[in-house]
Amino acid sequence: MYEVIQVRMGEAGKIDYLSTSGLKPAVGEYIIVEAERGLNYGQVVSEPEILLDADISGPLRKIVRIATKHDLHQIERSRQKAKDALEVALKKVRSHNLQMKLVDVEYSFDRSKIVFYFTAEGRIDFRDLVKDLARTFKARIELKQIGVRDEAKKLGGFGPCGRSLCCAQFLRDFEPVTIKMAKEQNLPLNPTKISGLCGRLMCCLGYEHQTYKEMKKGLPKEGSKIKIKEGQGKVIGVNALKRSATVELENGKRIEVSFNKDDGKKAKR
């Protein structure tokens, strides 16, 4: 068994499980962690929890220490340097005439590596740009192409609900979201209504998908024909939350029919 916490790496990176190494950092605290080469930093986003050996897919990175005042000063200094590095890199991208959009820049904690995140429509040959950046910053350079959902995660913002974007706050990974989920929740299939800032279907459509599937069990499908006390009719609407269906009779009259939760039989109208 391992005692682990969830940590958001860097500024808005992936959330990973890390071994606590016997330390007890609080949620929101910054920590210094082992990296592939040298050290990096992250922010704790969960309380400690226990994972079984079977739940661990690979070796866990360890926490080196809880960030000190000096560490926090260095992290803040790196943020400022990243802003300057972005301005320099933007000019170099233009000088190399590359069709790419720089999104963010991130220094590793020890500043031995700088990661430049960008979006582009296709593959970009940025080898000359990497050499140019390495000469300028005297550090290891990594250019990482990301998608529009990752861009929203890094830049942050507010969704139509008025809350901070889920991807920037707590999502560990992006799960597939389909238009079928919106249909099953009776949402208007208007792209402006069901799309996030990234232009893709909102991640929150997946939160209640399984619940809607369960609540729809036993309900007739829209478009199907059913027989009720008043006669034969066609289902023109289904409300999973109310467990009811709107039925249009052959004479044009519309009736709302409720269904029992347990057996799916008609209960009342």
Same domain, 42 and 90: no
Same domain, 49 and 19: yes
Distance in angstroms (rounded) separating the CA atoms of residues 141 and 119? 17
pLDDT of residue 56: 72
38-58 average pLDDT score: 82
Same domain, 137 and 90: yes
pLDDT of residue 102: 94
Residue 220 in any domain: the answer is no
Distance in angstroms (rounded) separating the CA atoms of residues 134 and 94? 17
Same domain, 63 and 80: no
Same domain, 158 and 137: no
Say which DSSP state 124 is in: -
Same domain, 236 and 196: no
Q: Which of 114, 146, 178 is the last residue of a domain?
A: 146
Residue 172 in any domain: the answer is yes
In this predicted structure, which of 53-62, 70-79, 222-231 has the lowest mean pLDDT?
A: 53-62
Question: Domain residues for 91?
Answer: 72-146
Say which DSSP state 176 is in: P
Nearest to 30 by CA among 59, 69, 56: 69
Confidence of residue 268 (pLDDT cuts 50, 70, 90): very low
Instruction: Label each residue of 61-80 as H, E or C.
Output: CEEEEECCHHHHHHHHHHHH
Same domain, 38 and 26: yes
Same domain, 231 and 244: yes
Residue 219 in any domain: the answer is no
CATH code at 103? 3.30.300.20
Write out the DSSP string of 213-229: HHHTTTSPPTT-EEEET
Confidence of residue 237 (pLDDT cuts 50, 70, 90): confident
Q: What is the dihedral of CA 255, 256, 257, 258, to 10 degrees?
A: -170
Q: What percent of the chain has pLDDT over 90?
A: 39
Same domain, 142 and 155: no
pLDDT digit string (tens) for 125-180?
A: 999 999 999 999 999 999 999 989 888 888 888 988 888 898 888 777 788 899 98
pLDDT of residue 133: 96
Is 0.75 topped by the overall pTM? no
Has residue 261 got a pLDDT over 80? no
Residue 167 in any domain: the answer is yes
pLDDT of residue 267: 47
At residue 149, what are phi and psi to the nearest 5 degrees?
-70, -40
pLDDT of residue 28: 92
Task: Give how many domains the chain has, as a whole number.
Answer: 4
Helix residue ranges per DSSP H, the chain:
69-95, 127-137, 148-155, 166-169, 179-184, 191-194, 209-215
Same domain, 9 and 50: yes
